[in-house]
Amino acid sequence: MAIDGSEKELKMTQIDMDIQVAQTNGITIISIYGELDDFQAPKLHHTFSNEPIYSQTGIIIDLSNTSFVDSVGLGVIVAQAKLLKKDGIRTVLVVTTPQIIRLLNQTGITTSQSLSITVTDSVAGAITLLSE
């Protein structure tokens, strides 16, 4: 209840997320738009579960249009990267947002030998990495 005695309704703001899947040069590119948080993470998990990964060399997860990632969203990406690595498929993240770069550095994900996740700042750079 507010100080003046009137009741105010509290609303949580939820930013929607959109996911697009494309293929180029035999590489699957998953582009995420919006915020990847605990509300939206199941949507990404569903995409990974239902979209075929056509590349035998790697996939690109494009986060360049993603404004925020929390630990739950990052967990979905890490779980997928582990599954792909078992099949010899590399994961490249495209990241340009300082918050996401900081999160990746703090968690040590990009230096983990067990994950084999590479980070670059452009889709073109990611395609080049996977084509080598």
Enter the CATH code of domain 17-131.
3.30.750.24
Task: Identify the pLDDT of residue 116.
Answer: 81
Residue bearing the bigger pLDDT, 64 or 54: 64
Q: Is the pLDDT of residue 25 over 90?
A: no
pLDDT for 67 equals: 93
Alpha helices in the chain (DSSP H): 41-50, 71-86, 98-107, 123-131
pTM of the model: 0.85
- pLDDT of 15: 66
The closest alpha carbon to 114, from 65, 81, 89, 75, belongs to: 81
- Reported confidence tier of residue 10, pLDDT bands at 50, 70, 90: very low
> Tens of pLDDT along 74-123?
999 999 999 988 888 899 999 999 999 999 999 998 888 778 899 999 99
Other beta carbons less than 10 A from residue 74's beta carbon: 17
Q: Give 43-61 pLDDT, tens digit per residue.
A: 999 998 887 776 778 899 9
